[in-house]
Structure 1
Amino acid sequence: MEKKRAVLNDNASMIAQCHHGTLPDELRAKAGPQKANTIDFSTRLNPMGSIFQYKNILDLPGLINASRNLIGQYPDNRYLEFRNAAAGFVGKGLTASNIIPGSGICEIIRLVLSCTLEKGDIVLIPFPSPPEYNRYSGLFGARVIPLPPHELLQADDDLLSCARVVLLSNPGNPGGRLISRKELRPFAERCAEHRTLLIVDESCIELSDPSQTLAGHIFANDFVVVVRSIAHAFAIPGLNAAYGIASEKMVQLFNNARLPWSIGAFSDVLCTAVLNIEGGINSSYLEDSRELIRSQRNYLISRIGRIYGFSPQPSDANYILVDLKDLFMDSQTLTGNLASKGFLIKDCSNFFQAEKQFVRIGVHAQEDNEVLLKAIGEVLTETSKEDARERLEVTIGSAAAGSAPASRGTCQYYPCHFEGQDCTFCFCPFYACEDERTGGKWIVGSSGNKVWSCENCTYIHQSRSSRQILDILMEEGDTEDNIKKAWNLVIKPLL
């Protein structure tokens, strides 16, 4: 029987659905009743807020009215005003002839790759990188080789000559580290020597240090394409417009191949006005934004770093990568639990080959950062209680089955109170008793909210008390009732 031909080619059939920018819809739905008040830390948008809300420097109603008259006609596919505005905004001697217009950074990256890659080509990317880099490279039949950032920039000549494209983000995504122009420019020259195209995704460089852009290097190099976002820098993701920067020769080729009319009338008029703001890259809006990001990034790193299990990584951008390897829950669980409270952060599993160890948190104004820290504290407390209850049930069940109580020899935290302590109960069944006669007390936790501390209470780790409590908890009846009984009969007389 003759095999039927597939509708899609093999590359397209292997592409996973894209959840670009934030979280899947089912995770957003966890916000439930709080959805209207959800604070989104999962994006990389400017925390200053939309340019149209900043000191009334742009007349939004007037711009919308001006674009309304254009709805009944096709846009001028040359987008000359937009391209002139983009060139003027970046500076560096650029003109409209160096600008590729597009609806977003993903469209422009995909355009460049479609014009460059053939089946079997090699694409070098840093690890970790946005999943779109793998997705679009694979769509055109290329093989992606991920390398640690320092190894990528020091790749030997043999590897560079084999690669068709090098694709990286600067600042890095999700890590947030910025590669200096001094370090990146020699690498770009090496790529050109080997006729390897270097694509630099500068989506958030305006919010980091725009002086480190590679845009000024395109005049003497046909093997560099710089991609810029308008959505991230100006917090206007609802307007679809972005641009690429390259030599005149390369721009002509890419403009011949790009989709026509990809920027609609509203986005064209509004984003052109945005790029024409007074001061350009050094406008008061962006200067104030960078100062806000610097101060709040340092504050957030300091505060998050004091929460046990959270290891924020150094960042030069408006977002922070946090390592959760020492936390008792993975990135997916933390993300879901925070979403249920109305706070969205980015689970980075798709950046790290499904490893659930990292989250990315966008920098916000201090008021928002404070409520996020409080929500993290609440999630950790609630999850600890749930986990402790499960362990308590295991302890009771093991004792009922005749098994030995928990061994302190396997605990990395022993002794958490004193040498020779009884470790039958890792977590106190009476927590939080709120009785300061035990030696416990309320303290301000690292996340900023109040936490009941048992550091100076040792009753649960006395062997005689522990055995008496366990005997009572093993009795028939409701566990909560047995806990109250154990408190009254064992602990209360000792206070």
Structure 2
Amino acid sequence: MEKKRAVLNDNASMVAQCHHGILQDELRARTGPQNIDVLDFSTRLNPMGNIFQYQDILDLHDLIGTARTLTGQYPDNRYLEFRDAAAGFIGKGLTSSNIIPGSGVCEIIRLVLGCTLEKRDIVLIPFPSPPEYSRHSNLFGARVILLPPHELLLADDKILSSAKVVLLSNPGDLGGRLIPSKELRSFAKRCAKNRTLLIIDESCIELSDPSQTLAGHILDNDFVVVLRSITHAFAIPGLNAAYAAASKKMAQLFNNARLPWSIGAFADVLCTAVLNVEGGVNSRYLKDSRELIHSQRDYLIERIGRIHGFSPRPSDANYLLVELKDLFMDSHTLTRNLAAKGFLIKDCSDLFQAGKQFVRISVHAQEDNETLLRTIGEVLTETSKEDARERLEVTIGNAAAGSVPASRGTCQYYPCHFWGQDCTFCFCPFYACEDERTGGKWIIGSSGNKVWSCENCTYIHQSRLSRQILDILMEEGDTEDNIKKAWDLVIKPLI
């Protein structure tokens, strides 16, 4: 039987669909785009908020009126005003001839890779990086090699010469660390020497330290392309526009190859005005944004670091990577439980080695940050209760089978109350009883919210009492009713 010819090539068939965030997409699918009331800590948007809402420095209504008059005609595909504004915004001696416009950073990455890659070419990408980098490279049949950032920057000429492209972000998309421009300049010269194209995604550099840009070093280097996002710096994800900077020779080639009219009239007019804001990268809006980010990033790192199981990594950007160490839930569960309460964070564990648990949390204004911290505390408490209930059922089941451990000397927390304690119940079935006569009390937890502490209550770990409680819990009937009965008959008379 004759084999049918495939419609898609092998590369396109292997590429997965791109999502801004799976949880966000699922929420929109369930509730509709107008009905989601969430605080989104999963993005990398400027926490200062939409530039059009900042101190009236731009008149949005006038700009919309101007754009409305242009909707009946094709845009000028040269985008001359937009390119002039982008060059002026960066400075560094750039002109409009150095600018490549596009509807977004991803579109420009695909444009540049499409113009440079051939099947089986090698692309070097730091590990970890956004999955879009590998996805776009694979689409053109390239082979992706992942290297730790420090190894990539120190790669010898043999490795660099074997690669067609190096694609990295600065600051790093996941971790937020900023590579100093001096270090990148040296690396860029080595890439040029080996005729390897260096693509640097500077989507959030305006929110970190714009003086560390490599954009000023493209003028005499045909092997560097610098990407810039308008979305992140100005918190306007609803407007599709971005740009790249390259030498005049390379910019002309990419402009010849790019999709025509990819920026619509509204995005063209509004984003051109944004890029023309007085002061450019050092406008009042961006300087205030960086000050906010610096103070709130330090605040978040300090507060999150006090939560048991949370280990935030140092960051130079408006987001930070948090490793979940010794936490009783994985990153997927934490992300979903927070989303159920209207808080979105980014689950990054799939981008790391097996067993590593990471989430990325963006910096917001202090009120929102405090609300997130309180909600993390609530999620941990509620999940602890659910876990305790599951363990209670296991304890009852083990007792019915005739095997209940009286002590757990192998437990890393033993003894959590006193030596020789009875560990039949690792989690108290009465938690949180909220009765301070037991020795328990309310404390302020590391996440900033009130937590019921059982540190000074030992009833549940006294062998005689634990046996009495277990006997009652094993009786027929509803578990909740039996817990209340055990409290009334065993604990209440003692307090």
TM-score (norm 2): 0.97
The match for 1:415 is 415
Are the counterparts in 1 of residues 84 and 96 from structure 2 also a CA contact under 8 Å?
Answer: yes
Partner of 1:132: 132
| 1:274 counterpart residue number | 274
- The amino acid across from 2:77 in the alignment is N
Matched, 1:303 2:303: yes
Structure-2 separation of matches of 1:472 and 1:49: 56
Equivalent residue number for residue 455 of structure 1: 455
Distance, in Å, in 1 between the alignment partners of 2:392 and 2:398 is 10
Offset at residue 159 of structure 1 (A) = 1.0
**Given the superposition, is the C-alpha separation of residues 406 and 333 from structure 1 closer, same or farther in structure 2, using an over 3 Å criterion?**
farther
Matched residue, 1:212: 212
Offset of 1:477 from its aligned partner? 1.4
Distance 1:169 1:22, change over 3 A: farther
Q: Deviations over 1:387-413 (max 9, x none)?
A: 100000000000101123265133111
Post-superposition offset of 1:488: 2.0
Q: What corresponds to 2:153 in structure 1? A: 153
Does the 8 A contact of 1:104 with 1:243 survive in 2? yes
- Please say if residues 395 and 406 of structure 1, whose CA atoms lie closer than 8 Å, have aligned partners that are also in contact: no
Q: Is the partner of 1:410 in helix, strand or coil?
A: coil
Report the AA paired with residue 106 of structure 1.
Answer: C
Contact 2:48 2:292 (C-alpha < 8 Å) held by counterparts? yes
Note the 1:235-246 alignment, pairs <5 A: 235-246=235-246
Amino acid across the alignment from 2:371: V
- Which range moves more in the overlay, 352-361 or 133-142? 352-361
Q: List per-residue Cα deviations over 1:231-283 (Å, max 9, x = no partner).
A: 10000111111000100010011011100001111111111010000011100
Structure 1, unpaired ranges of 5+: none
* Matched-pair contact (CA < 8 Å) for 2:407–2:420: no
Q: Which residue of the partner structure matches residue 384 of structure 1?
A: 384
Equivalent residue runs for 1:360-399 within 5 Å? 360-399=360-399
Determine the structure 1 residue equivalent to 2:261: 261
Partner Cα distance (2:188, 2:104) in 1: 24
Structure 2: runs of 5+ lacking an equivalent:
none
Aligned to 1:194: 194
- TM-fit CA distance, 1:350: 4.3
Q: Which amino acid aligns with 2:297?
A: R
Which residue in 2 is equivalent to 1:166?
A: 166
1:490 CA displacement: 1.8
Equivalent residue letter for 2:238:
G
Which residue in the other structure is 2:120 paired with?
120
Deviation of 1:191 after TM superposition, in Å, equals 0.8
* Higher alpha-carbon deviation: 394-403 or 354-363: 354-363
Q: Secondary structure at the match of 1:493?
A: helix
How do residues 46-65 of structure 1 correspond to structure 2 at under 5 angstroms?
A: 46-65=46-65
Which amino acid in the other structure matches residue 196 of structure 2? T
CA drift of 1:28 comes to 5.1
- Determine helix, strand or coil for the equivalent of 2:409: helix
Contact 1:332-1:356 within 8 A present in 2 as well: no
Provide the aligned C-alpha RMSD in A. 1.7
Partner of 1:320: 320
Q: Which moved more, 1:191-200 or 1:404-413?
A: 404-413
The answer to whether the 8 Å contact 2:24/2:344 transfers is no
Identity of aligned residues (%): 84
Q: How many residues align?
A: 495
Change (3 A) 1:57 1:355: farther
Match for 2:90: what amino acid?
A: V
Alignment check: 8 A CA contact 1:122 1:144 kept = yes
Deviation at 1:328, TM superposition (A): 1.1
Q: Quickly say closer, same or farther: Cα 1:72–1:246, change in 2 above 3 A.
A: same
Q: Show the 5 A alignment for 1:7-86.
A: 7-20=7-20, 23-27=23-27, 35-86=35-86
